[in-house]
Homo-oligomer: A and B are copies of this chain.
Amino acid sequence: MKPVTFTCKGNSVDPNEIGQLSVEACKKRLAELSKGLAHPTRVEIVRMLENKPLEERCVCGDIVNALPLAQSSVSQHLKVLKETGWIQGEIDGPRVCYCTVGGIMEYYLALIKRSLKGE
């Protein structure tokens, strides 16, 4: 039985896993995630998705409509955010429902602390 509202659950990350990464891996991962945030449009997208209530799905089209960019440009930004590990998309019929990777902000915060301080 298919639910009426499609909520995006998917993958999540755990800040505790950071301790197992090598210092070198930490730096690379931090640089990668930072690249994801290195454009105001992408900050806005992550912000949007991070503040969505769980029961409210966020479809690609909603994101496009909320931004003053062409659909193809938004799609490119979404791709960067997916590749750098900030968001994930679940296909729902002809649509794609996007959400942030679970706990990614806390993960990023922990990664900064571990990468910039310590050792």
Residues of A at the B interface (CB closer than 8 Å) are 27-28, 30-31, 34-40, 42-44, 46-47, 50-51, 105, 108-109, 112-113, 115-119
Distance from A43 Cβ to chain B, minimum over Cβ atoms (Å) = 5
Given the complex, which residues of B lie within 8 Å of A42, measured CB to CB? 31
Query: What is the bound-complex CA distance between A106 and B113, given in angstroms?
Result: 9
Copies, count: 2
In contact, B40 and A28 (Cβ under 8 angstroms)? yes
Give complex CA distance A71, B105 in Å.
35
Among A35, A42, A47, max chain B CB count under 10 A is at A47
Beyond A27-B47, A43-B31, whether A112 also contacts B117 by CB under 8 A is no
**C-alpha spacing A44/B28, complex, angstroms:** 10
Alpha-carbon separation in the docked complex, A47 to B119 (Å): 10
Complex CA distance for A112 and B106, rounded to whole angstroms: 10
Question: Whole-angstrom distance from the CB of A34 to the nearest CB of chain B?
Answer: 4
Task: Give CA–CA (A50, B113) in the complex, Å.
Answer: 11
